Amino acid sequence: MTLAPVVTLPLLGMVSPLPGFPEYRDYVLVTADGDGLLFWLQSLDADGPRFLAIAPARYFPDYDPVLPAAALAELGLDDPACAQFFCLVTVPAEGPAAATANLRAPIVVDPATWRATQVVLPDSRHPIRRPLRR
């Protein structure tokens, strides 16, 4: 059996903590599979949270959110086209086939500084629970 290599991106510093996790601000994104389709957003704190995440463009090619000016300013991101997006995934009790991605509140990363924040998008065209499988 061949194990897929684990790829870790640089430290993500959350400029605002994730809702419900105010004491955790430092995370890493670690690939959860060999294809780069799934990631773990893992707190650096040993007792911290870990979230399953996706890069939405790989699943939803039409995903093109408009970031509020306040989010751009908070990240110090001059060009919104440079932003990287990760969406948190929920796997319900029914199993992975029923997994959904939260497209309304993506984690937005400035790849130049690795500063990140979760942004709640103001428009409703991006659902909170979009099935990963269609």
Q: What is the pLDDT of residues 61-92, one digit of tens each?
A: 999 999 999 999 999 998 999 999 999 999 99
Nearest Cα neighbor of 18 from 62, 51, 59, 66 is 51
**pLDDT value at residue 124:** 86
pTM attached to this predicted model: 0.89
Give the model's confidence band at 34: pLDDT under 50 very low, under 70 low, under 90 confident, else very high: confident
Helix (H) or strand (E) holding 57: helix 56-59
Question: Percent of the chain having pLDDT more than 90?
Answer: 83
Indicate the average pLDDT of the chain.
91
Give the model's confidence band at 2: pLDDT under 50 very low, under 70 low, under 90 confident, else very high: low
| Secondary structure of residue 128 in the 3-state scheme | coil
End-to-end Cα spacing for the chain = 31
Write down all domains in the chain, each with its CATH number in brackets. 12-131 (2.30.290.10)
Tens of pLDDT, residue by residue over 10-24, are 799 999 999 999 999
Tokens of 96: 């992975």
CA distances from 15 to 2, 27, 32, 51, 110 (A): 38, 11, 24, 18, 11
Look at residue 123 and tell me whether its pLDDT is greater than 90. no
Sign of CA dihedral 71, 76, 79, 83: negative
